[in-house]
Amino acid sequence: MGRYRVGLETRERILSATRRLLGEVGVEDVTLKAITDQAAVGAGSFYNLFGSKEEVVLEVIREALDAVDPDPAGAGTDPLEDLVEAFVQFVTDSTPIARIYLQLAVGRGLTDPLVGQRLLRSHRRRVERFADALRRARPDLDARDAAAEAEMLLAALTGLGLTALLDPDFDMHAHAMRLLPAGEASVPGT
């Protein structure tokens, strides 16, 4: 039991160090040595828990996404508006992590097959959740059309997220709410 607890504590120190470094220097300047130095662990301890720097970075991103998940238990009851709100919250409240997520998706996801596969799995799960929420809101929608609408909605949210990360005055929330089907949400001031 003691070794398990030590392993969990070491894992959390590595994740915390990675979070701090990502916020301070960005993904390109985070090195394995910087992570292990900041976490006060050896490289062997790191590799006992994570396979690579990319793996720990993706874990930090997954935790940030999970932190805003409207349905963390995966019960399939989250309305579309809550899913959109969670995406907006991830981008606007987790700006350094969201920036890194988009950097990895656009850059490293295209050149590193393992990173690309992991990002694609995450995207597909998100599409399934959005499509499920769309079908619950609009029972007339078949699975194929719901998946297509979910893909378009996520593409638009990603574009809005890029704009929000580049322009601090951009109101991502207002634009995101306009993406919802009529009657799903009201946008203040419209």
Which helix H or strand E contains 58, and what residues bound it?
helix 53-67
96-142: per-residue pLDDT in tens? 888 888 888 877 777 878 878 888 888 899 999 999 999 999 999 99
Residue 80 has pLDDT above 90, yes or no: yes
138-178: per-residue pLDDT in tens? 999 999 999 999 999 999 999 999 999 899 999 999 999 99
Residue 190 has pLDDT above 70, yes or no: no
pLDDT band at 188 (very low <50, low <70, confident <90, very high): very low
Q: Which CATH class is domain 1-51?
A: mainly alpha
Residue 189 has pLDDT above 60, yes or no: no
Q: Where are the alpha helices (DSSP H) in 79-171?
A: 80-93, 95-103, 109-111, 113-137, 143-166
pLDDT confidence of residue 107? 77
Average pLDDT over residues 86-102: 88
Contacts of 27 (CB under 8 A, 6+ apart): 57, 100, 103, 104
Q: Do domains 1-51 and 53-178 have the same CATH topology?
A: no
Q: Which CATH architecture has domain 53-178?
A: Orthogonal Bundle (1.10)
Average pLDDT over residues 36-57: 93
Every domain of the chain and the residues it spans: 1-51, 53-178
Cα–Cα distance measured from residue 17 to residue 36, given in angstroms and rounded to the nearest whole number: 8
pLDDT confidence of residue 113? 84
